[in-house]
Amino acid sequence: MIVVLWTLFILGALALAINSYVWPQLSFAGRFRDRTKALYAAKAGARAVMAQVVQDKDTGFDLLKDPWYNAETFRDVPVGDSLFSVRVTDEERKININKASREVLKNAFMISAEADASLASEIAASIIDWRDADDKPLENGAETGYYAGLEAKYPCKNADFQVLEELLQVRGMTQQVFDASKEYLTVYGLGAVNINTCGTQVLRSLGAGEELAKKIVSYRNGADGEEGTEDDKVFDSVSGIVAALSKSGGFSSAELTTAANIVAAGSITVRSDNFTGRSDGKSGNKTYGITFTFNRNDVIKQWRSD
C-alpha cells in the first residue's frame, strides 16, 4: 500500500511538472496558429478586392457606388474558420504631391491642416524643390543648401516622393500638419483628381471655393444626399462636366466659369486607376492587418503588414 501511494504521488508530481512545461508550449502554438490564419485571411481579403477592381467593367469612369467602394461587400467575409474585412479607397480622389502646382499644394495645407498662408506657402515651395531635378530653391523653398545646414544633415532628394512620409523631411512640414493633411494627399496616379469620388476639401484645393465644392458634391450625391448610393449622379466624361452642372440649374455663371477653368487646367478626371485598401484578418482572438496599394492592371505598388 505504501509503495502504491508513493507511486501515485510521484506520478502526480510528474504530471504536474509535464503540464507546467507543455501547457505554455501549447498556448504559444495556438496563438501562433491563430495569427498565421489571420495573416492568410488578410491576404485573401486583399486579393479578393484586387480581383474585384481588376475584373470591374471599365466604363471609362469610376464612382462611389462601384462595388469596390462598398464596405459591406467585404465585411466579415468567412475564409474557413477565419474572417476578413476590407475597406478600399481610390488614390485619384486625392492631391498628388508629385504633380500638383504650388498654388494647389498651398491651398491643400491651408484647407486641410488650417496652416497659415506663410507656412503653407513655405511647405508648397519646398515640396516642389524636393521633387524637381535642379538645386535652385524657389522663393520660400529649400534645396540641398538648406538641408545641409541642419543639425542632422541630409540632401534634397530632387526626385519624386515615393511615400507620403517623405513629406516630414521637407522644410516647414510638422507632424501636426502632416497628420491633418495626409488623408487628402497621394503619390500615386497621373495627377488629375476624380470629380466622381473626391471630397469638398480636395475640390477647394483645386480652386473651387467652399460653396462651389459643396454644390458639386451635393449634385453628385443625388436626391438622398448620401454618397455611394444608387441615385448618385455620374460625370462620365471630363468634357461633359460643365455642361452637366449647367443643365442642373443650380450653379451660377461665375461658378460654371470657375469649374470650366479647373477642367481646362487638366486638374480633373472622371476615372480612378490606383487604389489603396486595408485588409484585416481575424482568427480566434488574433488579428492581422495589411495595407496595400495597387493599380487596375493588378500591379502592387505598396504592401505593408502590421
- pLDDT the model gives residue 102: 96
The three cell numbers of residue 202 are 480636395
| Res 54: pLDDT | 83
CATH 3.30.1300 in the chain is located at 35-93+273-305
What pLDDT is stored for residue 28 in this prediction? Answer: 43
For domain 35-93+273-305, the CATH class is alpha beta
Note down pLDDT in tens along the chain; length 306 residues: 676 666 665 656 665 555 555 545 544 444 558 888 899 999 999 999 998 888 877 778 999 988 888 778 889 999 888 999 999 999 999 999 999 999 999 999 999 999 999 999 999 999 999 999 999 999 999 999 999 999 999 999 999 999 999 999 999 999 999 999 999 999 999 999 999 999 999 999 999 999 999 999 999 998 888 888 888 999 999 999 999 999 998 899 999 999 999 999 999 999 999 999 999 999 988 899 999 999 988 899 999 987
* Secondary structure (3-state) at 107: helix
Residues of the chain with CATH 1.10.40.60: 98-185
For cell 477653368, name the residue.
261
pLDDT at 27: 47
Q: What are the distances in angstroms from CA 26 to CA 11, 23, 29, 168? A: 21, 5, 5, 44
Report the C-alpha gap between 82 and 280 in whole angstroms.
11
Contacts of 55 (CB under 8 A, 6+ apart): none
Q: Which fold has domain 98-185?
A: Ribonucleotide Reductase Protein R1; domain 1 (1.10.40)
Determine the Cα–Cα distance for residues 272 and 77; give it in Å rounded to an integer. Answer: 25
